[in-house]
């Protein structure tokens, strides 16, 4: 498909809106005043006149054409006006009206926060989100609720606090939809001892660094991968190294992702609880055994229930369960069953993701095979309705590229059980120091509105190989804080 620009170069915005209707597509970009004679296209023109400008969008899609036009004053936001025109034209041609409207960014809550900052009422916010972004009332309502849940958490955030992220990029097997830097344990068994030695060194190094900088450890998060892929003694060594390297007296949350139920044993959960972990994730993704098999997860729904039971017996009172809407071969009925069973089980957090497929080719291939024709939108709406009815509140929300039907991921929580770390990382309001392969340190200075990232090596092999070099790079953290003074 061609995207043609005449008198403007709003490529980024127009491409973003176009992808809402035709995801995972590479567009031909053309500049000039000529309207294409054949094929599908979007022609976007801005014509400057003396006192105003004329904006015009004409699209041809699958043999049908439609257009819209409007005028703009000199100080009007042309990108937004053109995006709205294109959205309306493509909605008409495709019959599809994406519920987030023209909001294409990963954090739709930002727009709502902007309005809340102006003390607007709920009705005024609904109206503004509809008029400005063509956002549906349903999605605006969720964004508004999310913003409200976050406010208390953000208000309690202490300056000079930070979170520690520990990356364990190993899993028992690799799921077919995985977009993380994670390797199956068999592939990299030989690298693990050296990886753990280096990881302990990096934890100690980070401990010294934060005491020099006077930072206070607020939350710890073990992610990956699946941290519980490691043996109990290996995990214990990491947790003890953290306890020796940092002052944990101000710690408010300690999460370990025990994502895959097939990695959970009573011994591991007891050990992590004794060593200070307060919150875990046990993720079924779906409670349909057929779908689990299809996506390459080597466990059954029953193993998930067993793992959950073990976690309760060990005494965990803050458990998260992740599920995914839109998995290949899943149906609206079996997804609804997953949601209902989890609500009945009563985890403190339930996170509803929408399937996102990293590679465009893969998304299209699966679509062609008819594997992704399930109603993700219906699934997400069902989960939203049931979770709200059951007393859960949305507390963080984000979107990724290539998500089915341009939907979102939402973290739901029983009131008061929200994960602080998830809010901080999503809202980019607190420094996150990451250790381990694939970790990305995020340095935040909210006063000066600065955000910088320091990346670790992605894979365990290169992390081990270039470990010394990587520690050198971490000097950037001290430089960042020196500028903060
Ligand atoms: S458990 Fe998560 S990180 Fe591991 S392979 Fe599956 S999707 Fe990837």
Mean pLDDT to the nearest integer, 64-93: 94
Ligand 1 centroid–CA 243 distance in Å is: 27
pLDDT (tens digit per residue) in 242-301: 999 999 999 999 999 998 999 999 999 999 999 999 999 999 999 999 999 988 888 999
Look at residue 228 in the predicted model and tell me its pLDDT.
96
Residue 229 lies inside a defined structural domain of this protein: yes
**Could you give the strand order of the β-sheet that contains 64-72, starting from the edge strand earlier in sequence?**
28-31, 2-6, 41-48, 53-61, 64-72
Q: Which atom of ligand 1 is nearest to the CA of 179?
A: 8
Look at residue 360 in the predicted model and tell me its pLDDT.
45
Pairing of strands 409-413, 349-354: antiparallel
Q: Which atom of ligand 1 is nearest to the CA of 296?
A: 6
- Do 268 and 396 lie in one domain? The reply is yes
pTM of the predicted model as reported, rounded to 2 decimal places: 0.90
Look at residue 11 in the predicted model and tell me its pLDDT.
94
Among residues 219, 223, 202, 220, which one has the least CA distance to residue 470? Answer: 202
- Do 291 and 185 lie in one domain? The reply is yes
Instruction: Give the residue whose CA is nearest to atom 8 of ligand 1.
Output: 178
236 pLDDT tier (thresholds 50, 70, 90): very high
What CATH number is given to the structural domain containing 32? 3.30.160
185 lines ligand 1 (CB under 6 A): no
- Do 179 and 90 lie in one domain? The reply is no
376 lines ligand 1 (CB under 6 A): no
CA angle at residue 242 from 463 to 438, to 5 degrees? 25
Look at residue 485 in the predicted model and tell me its pLDDT.
67
Mean pLDDT to the nearest integer, 301-305: 97
- Do 128 and 197 lie in one domain? The reply is no
Residue 186 lies inside a defined structural domain of this protein: yes
Look at residue 358 in the predicted model and tell me its pLDDT.
61
- Do 232 and 361 lie in one domain? The reply is yes
Q: How many domains does the chain have?
A: 3
What CATH number is given to the structural domain containing 425? 3.80.30.20
Is the pLDDT score of 359 beyond 60? no
- Do 60 and 161 lie in one domain? The reply is no
361 pLDDT tier (thresholds 50, 70, 90): very low
- Do 190 and 230 lie in one domain? The reply is yes
321 lines ligand 1 (CB under 6 A): no
- Do 115 and 38 lie in one domain? The reply is no
Mean pLDDT to the nearest integer, 53-68: 96
Residue 485 lies inside a defined structural domain of this protein: no
430 lines ligand 1 (CB under 6 A): no
18 lines ligand 1 (CB under 6 A): no
Residue 101 lies inside a defined structural domain of this protein: no
Mean pLDDT to the nearest integer, 40-49: 95
- Do 36 and 158 lie in one domain? The reply is no
Ligand 1 centroid–CA 191 distance in Å is: 19
Ligand 1 centroid–CA 91 distance in Å is: 35
Instruction: Give the residue whose CA is nearest to atom 5 of ligand 1.
Output: 174
Q: What is the largest CA-CA distance in the chain?
A: 76
- Do 305 and 346 lie in one domain? The reply is yes
Structural domain including 19 reads: 2-94
pLDDT (tens digit per residue) in 411-457: 999 999 999 999 999 999 999 999 999 999 999 998 888 999 999 99
Look at residue 251 in the predicted model and tell me its pLDDT.
98
Instruction: Give the residue whose CA is nearest to atom 6 of ligand 1.
Output: 175
């Amino acid at each position: 498909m061609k995207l043609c620009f005449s008198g403007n170069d709003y490529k980024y915005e127009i491409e973003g809106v176009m992808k809402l209707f035709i995801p995972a597509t590479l567009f031909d970009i053309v500049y000039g005043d000529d309207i294409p004679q054949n094929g599908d296209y979007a022609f976007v023109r801005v014509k400057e006149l003396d006192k105003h400008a004329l904006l015009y969008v004409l699209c041809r899609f699958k043999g049908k054409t439609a257009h819209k036009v409007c005028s703009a004053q000199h100080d009007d936001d042309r990108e937004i006006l053109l995006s709205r025109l294109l959205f309306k034209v493509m909605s008409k041609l495709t019959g599809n009206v994406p519920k987030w409207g023209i909001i294409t960014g990963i954090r739709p809550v930002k727009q709502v926060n902007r309005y809340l900052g102006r003390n607007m009422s709920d009705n005024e916010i609904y109206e503004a989100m509809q008029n400005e972004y063509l956002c549906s009332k349903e999605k605006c309502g969720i964004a508004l609720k999310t913003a409200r849940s976050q406010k208390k958490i953000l208000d309690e955030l202490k300056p000079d606090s930070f979170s520690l992220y520990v990356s364990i990029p190993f899993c028992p097997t690799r799921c077919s939809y995985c977009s993380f830097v994670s390797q199956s344990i068999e592939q990299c068994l030989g690298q693990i001892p050296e990886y753990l030695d280096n990881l302990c060194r990096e934890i100690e190094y980070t401990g010294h660094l934060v005491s020099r900088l006077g930072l206070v450890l607020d939350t710890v998060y073990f992610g990956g991968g699946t941290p519980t892929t490691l043996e109990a003694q290996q995990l214990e060594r990491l947790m003890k190294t953290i306890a020796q390297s940092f002052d944990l007296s101000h710690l408010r949350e300690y999460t370990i992702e025990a994502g895959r139920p097939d990695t959970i044993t009573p011994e591991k959960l007891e050990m992590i609880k004794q060593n200070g972990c307060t919150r875990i994730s046990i993720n079924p993704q779906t409670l349909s055994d057929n779908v689990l098999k299809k996506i390459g997860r080597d466990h059954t729904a029953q193993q998930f229930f067993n793992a959950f039971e073990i976690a309760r017996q060990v005494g965990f009172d803050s458990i998260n369960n992740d599920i995914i809407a839109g998995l290949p071969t899943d149906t609206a009925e079996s997804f609804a069953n997953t949601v209902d069973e989890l609500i009945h089980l009563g985890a403190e957090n339930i996170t509803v993701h929408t399937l996102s497929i990293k590679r465009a080719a893969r998304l299209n291939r699966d679509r062609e095979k008819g594997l992704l024709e399930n109603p993700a939108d219906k699934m997400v709406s069902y989960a939203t309705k049931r979770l709200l009815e059951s007393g859960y509140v949305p507390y963080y929300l984000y979107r990724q590229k290539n998500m089915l039907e341009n939907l979102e991921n939402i973290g739901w929580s029983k009131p008061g059980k929200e994960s602080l770390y998830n809010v901080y990382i999503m809202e980019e309001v607190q420094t996150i120091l990451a250790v381990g392969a694939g970790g990305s340190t995020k340095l935040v200075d909210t006063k000066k509105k600065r955000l910088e990232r320091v990346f670790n090596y992605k894979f365990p092999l290169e992390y081990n190989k270039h470990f010394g070099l990587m520690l050198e790079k971490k000097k950037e953290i001290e430089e960042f804080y020196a500028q903060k003074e």
